[in-house]
Amino acid sequence: MAAVHQLRPRPSAPSTPALVSDGLVCPLESGAEVEYANLDHGASTSAFVAVKAAVDEASLTYSSVHRGNGYASRVTSARYEQAREVVARFVGARADDHVIFTRNTTDSFNLLASVVPQDAQVFVFGSDHHATILPWRAEQLVRLPVPSSPAEAVSVVDAALRTSRAADALVVVTGASNVTGEYWPVAQIAAVARRHGARVALDAAQLVQHRAVDLALEELDYVAFSGHKIYAPYGAGVLVGRSDWLDAAEPYLAGGGATAAVSDEDTTWQIGPARHEAGSPNVLGAVALAVACEVVEEHREAIAELDETLGRGLVSRLDAIPGVQTHSIFGPTHDRAPVVTFTVEGRSAQEVSRRLSDEHGIGVRDGRFCAHVLVDALLARQGSGSTSAVRASLGLANSPEHVDRLVAAVRSLAPRG
């Protein structure tokens, strides 16, 4: 199939922010062209037009950060610190919380793992993304089983913390599953953790683009998310949260910017975000992330309305196709982002995703979504003979027509469709 792409103007849905990819047209193997239906928002999103404009503007004066007194350096440094303030407001950070820019959510959790006290225990559900399961030291990690209901998730945390004898404890919870889009009982888990004196870190990579997060209001200790999943695909992520562990630990990276003083005998490290941001930071990525946060905050109501429109009935429509099975942690009616993961009898997930693209102009993801434990559990729990699945994750680049096209395309691939 020819790899030819072109852009045609297509107005975005009313009141929703415009994307640079609006109107992308892709060729089909039949030789026809169709508007591309990007149903892979869970992997990466296109950029907001406003985000690209901000990056283009910042590029004009791009310079070193905190390294000089020249005009461009001062402007760039101001933009970088302003981005930090915007992100802090976006997640309801407390006055003494640190906002540390990273590469992505995975980088953020590896940073957090490097500052957790040595004697702490870390509790993580096996249903989480690899980014939240793998960074911790083996002797610290307590892996919790995949729950079958929100109530079970809360009770599992309660029981685990009740038996813990660690001086410090950290509970890691996912805001929305990257596999199924289902929302987790974050508030209830946080309440249990507080009762036991434990801290809570929220993986919000799949959440902040759909629902607001407020660290202070929800009494969460840390939150991490990525720009490329919130319409700012410029290589930046962020970790926001309590300063004490961050200031007490060794720097995540050793190098310039993290140092207050270096001599032949000793090194004194910075206190604050700079302690863990050694080297020249991704200023443009930070600017992009901050602008995306502002855009999402401004359009929260419209985004929620579009999520409801796109997700309404999606799971049940696919479930109604003979030979198609959708998969969920808490049940098919549990509240979720507009995401559905499914398998088609007699066809591999790879074949389904390829044919959706080549024959229908639909982009989805297939595999185990960097959440192997969860996918294996779901496929086994629901009696699927498959070893991987297909995920359709919708967002601001989509319209109801894309949903209808997905359902019709899957029906054509189903053995009894």
Give dist(CA 227, CA 150) in Å, integer: 28
Annotated catalytic residue, options 370, 376, 384, 417: 370
Give dist(CA 329, CA 332) in Å, integer: 8
pLDDT band at 384 (very low <50, low <70, confident <90, very high): confident
pLDDT at 109: 98
> What mean pLDDT is predicted for residues 213-217?
98
State whether residue 384 is helix, strand or coil: coil
Both tokens of 269, joined, read: 């490290």
> What mean pLDDT is predicted for residues 106-117?
98
pLDDT band at 388 (very low <50, low <70, confident <90, very high): very high
Which spans in 211-273 are helix H? 215-218, 243-248
> What mean pLDDT is predicted for residues 239-253?
98
Q: Say how many CA atoms lie within 13 Å of 43 toward its Cβ.
A: 14
**At residue 31, what is the residue type?**
G
Both tokens of 381, joined, read: 């729990």
pLDDT at 5 over 50: no
Q: Is residue 96 packed enough to be buried (19+ CB in 10 Å), middle (13-18) or exposed (0-12)?
A: exposed
pTM to 2 decimals? 0.95
Contacts of 412 (CB under 8 A, 6+ apart): none
> What mean pLDDT is predicted for residues 107-136?
97
pLDDT at 12: 47
Rounded to 10°, the helix 49-60/283-298 angle is: 150
Domains defined for the chain, CATH in brackets: 6-47+300-413 (3.90.1150.10), 50-298 (3.40.640.10)
Give dist(CA 112, CA 116) in Å, integer: 6
Q: What are phi and psi of 348, to 5 degrees?
A: -75, 155
Contacts of 404 (CB under 8 A, 6+ apart): none
Longest dimension (CA), the chain: 75
Name residue 125's beta-bridge partners.
144
Give dist(CA 361, CA 399) in Å, integer: 14
Cβ atoms of 82 and 268 within 8 Å: the answer is no
Cα dihedral value 330, 393, 297, 185, nearest 10? 10
Q: Say how many CA atoms lie within 13 Å of 298 toward its Cβ.
A: 13
370 carries an active-site annotation: yes
Per-residue pLDDT tens over the stretch 53-79: 999 999 999 998 998 899 999 999 999
**Count of other CB atoms within 10 angstroms of residue 69:** 7
pLDDT band at 352 (very low <50, low <70, confident <90, very high): very high
Which spans in 26-67 are helix H? 49-60
Give dist(CA 322, CA 305) in Å, integer: 30
